[in-house]
Amino acid sequence: MTKRIFRSILVVSLAALLAALALVVGVLHGYFESRTEADLNQQAVTIARGTALGGIDYFEGLNISSRVTWVGQDGTVLYDNWQNASTMENHASREEIQEAMSLGKGTAVRWSDTLGQTAIYCAVRLDDGTVVRAASTQYSVWALVLQSVQPILVVVIAAMILAAMLASRLSKSIVRPINELDLNNPGGTSEDFYEELTPLLTRLRMQNHEIRQQMDQLRRRQEEFSAITENMSEGFLVLDIRTRVLSNNSAALRLLETDCVPVPGETSAFVLSREEGFRRCVEEALAGRRSERMVRRETLCRQIIASPVMQDGHLGGAVVVILDVTEREQRESLRREFTANVSHELKTPLTAISGTAEILENGMVKPEDVGHFAGNIHREAGRLIELVNDIIKLSRLDEGGADGPWEEMDLYRLSKNVLEQVRPAAEKRNLTLSLKGGPAMACGVPQILEEIVYNLCDNAVAYNRDGGSVTVTVEDTGKGARLTVEDTGVGIPAEARDRVFERFYRVDKSHSRGGTGLGLSIVKHGAAYLGATVVLRSEVGTGSTFILNFPPAEH
């Protein structure tokens, strides 16, 4: 814009300069013409006086640059200082001669064959009727210009430089208020902006207000979107048609287990994960088909769902949702395993009961052996009932409910009662039972607390060595009650310590030690229900120690 204004001002300045020069030359031309005519007229009068006094002899001593001609009454040329008078034609028909003879003076401007250019003629009549004429060349405009070409060029060049300087300063001063406009607050603080810009500035203010409102709305939406997506446990990716990531949340990077932070519009989704399932999902979605696949890595399981995005009937990209289904898959696996284990555990006693009953039904048992077989049926039925009861207990704990209100109980007294319950089984194996510590209060459902302590002590007896010991320690730590059950049994291998709390899991696969395989699972779920934590320490061949830390009892 500055250059255009500069060029416009410079052109206007030069045009004005040229026009002024033309006007000056024209004025000078008129001035020189009138001046020349006046000088010639004065010369003609002077020569006429001299001729009247001296006759033709006056011309002999006359030294003048103008052409002087003396014409008789009949138009015959009597004298001419530039030409031979005898060879010149009659001048009676000349305009200035005729005018001088009739009026006393005459003037004319015409082309002169003698001078070879336009000339000015001034004629004066003498008393004897003859006419004296003076003539001089008329300078044309171009002649004047050519005679003054050097000063004119100097003036033009100086004027051009001055015009360029002034045009530059003026163009900058014109543009400066526009360049200094504050587009965020147009016309708000400036005092020298052009009034002609008022409509533009008003429109800019309105547009700025609309833009600020739109930006505030977009910012609020972006913040809401970010707040929602960043607090999602599910990951999502928005991809363009070339697999480049346009948007994502942090959960997507966490679930894809990548440290790469994608640059929007530049990073390919395949940089984030090179898993075959992920790649196939993205490729199928960008081909226009919805895709869903499972991606497994070690113990983790991810569900990838990719859907195409259509824009005006054309494929514009894809949206990829990443779900962490590890826990769901583990639960499903545990459910299948639990179903299989329950079926197996129920089948064993039922098979024994069915087989024994069939033998009795067919009369294949001697009367004196009936009691033995009936005892087998009774034991297997009891085992079956115990298994069902344990399953019911676990189901109630899973559902977050248990029979009975919460009460404050003394773990020391409870442990003492439980040890008395397992004492008969311990005496059969020569095990030493001991209780240490003192009173410590814990809050919970009495039935659940008793089940926890009983299962720990029962396992300590069942998996102990003959002649070993079981030690129960109860103490109040100041931050809650602590129950420790320690045995001198076979211990638990390191690879099995994380699984002993699973349902029906047994370190001893032979089932030779009895039990339902649900005892430690009841301990784990019961402790979780009461807000307690379970810690296991064990060494193979040395024994195991189970530590329960209860939260402080509320008085």
Cα–Cα distance, 319 to 275 (Å, whole number): 17
Dihedral-angle region of residue 531 (phi above 0 means left; psi in -120 to 50 means alpha; beta otherwise): left
| Domains recognised in the chain with CATH numbers | 2-147 (3.30.450.20), 235-324 (3.30.450.20), 329-395 (1.10.287.130), 404-549 (3.30.565.10)
190-218 confidence digits (pLDDT tens): 555 667 767 777 787 888 888 888 999 98
Question: Which residues, in sequence order, are CB contacts of 545 under 8 Å at separation 6+?
Answer: 484, 485, 486, 487, 536, 537, 538
Query: Residue 106 in contact with residue 123, Cβ under 8 Å?
Result: yes
Percent of the chain with pLDDT over 70: 80
Percent helix, strand, coil in the chain, to 5, is 50, 20, 30
- Other beta carbons within 10 angstroms of residue 212's beta carbon come to 11
Q: Token digits for 175?
A: 């543009």
DSSP conformation class of 409: E
Give the CB-side neighbour count of residue 381, counting CA atoms within 13 A.
Answer: 11
Indicate the pairing of strand 291-297 with strand 245-248: unpaired
398-424 confidence digits (pLDDT tens): 555 555 678 888 999 999 999 999 899
| Mean pLDDT score of the chain | 80
pLDDT category at 306 given cuts 50, 70, 90 is very high
Which residues are 260's β-sheet partners? none
Q: Token digits for 196?
A: 């002609």
Q: Does an H or E element contain 454, and which?
A: helix 446-462
Angle between helices 446-462 and 411-428 in degrees, nearest 10: 30
Identify residue 183 by its one-letter amino acid code: L
Query: Residue 408 in contact with residue 480, Cβ under 8 Å?
Result: no
The pLDDT of residue 392 is 64
Which residues are 550's β-sheet partners? none
Angle at 138 between CA 137 and CA 143, to 5 degrees: 105
The pLDDT of residue 513 is 47
Cα–Cα distance, 25 to 149 (Å, whole number): 12
7-57 confidence digits (pLDDT tens): 777 777 778 777 877 777 666 666 666 777 787 788 888 888 888 877 877
337-382 confidence digits (pLDDT tens): 666 666 666 666 777 777 777 777 777 767 777 777 777 777 767 7
Cα–Cα distance, 538 to 456 (Å, whole number): 14
Q: What are the Cα distances from residue 144, in Å, to 15, 24, 28, 139, 247?
A: 21, 11, 8, 7, 81
Mean pLDDT of 239-243: 91
The pLDDT of residue 413 is 92
pLDDT top residue among 336 and 90: 90
DSSP conformation class of 532: -
Cα–Cα distance, 109 to 118 (Å, whole number): 7
422-433 confidence digits (pLDDT tens): 899 899 999 999
The alpha carbon dihedral of 451, 452, 454, 460 has a sign of: positive
DSSP conformation letters of 370-395: HHHHHHHHHHHHHHHHHHHHHHHHHH
DSSP conformation class of 468: -
Cα–Cα distance, 489 to 228 (Å, whole number): 53
The pLDDT of residue 475 is 92
- 434 three-state secondary structure: strand
Which own/partner pairs from 172-176 qualify as long-range (CB within 8 Å, at least 24 positions apart)?
A: 172/2, 174/5, 175/1, 175/2, 175/5
The pLDDT of residue 469 is 92
Which strands make up the sheet holding 131-137, listed edge to edge? 77-80, 67-71, 131-137, 117-125, 105-112
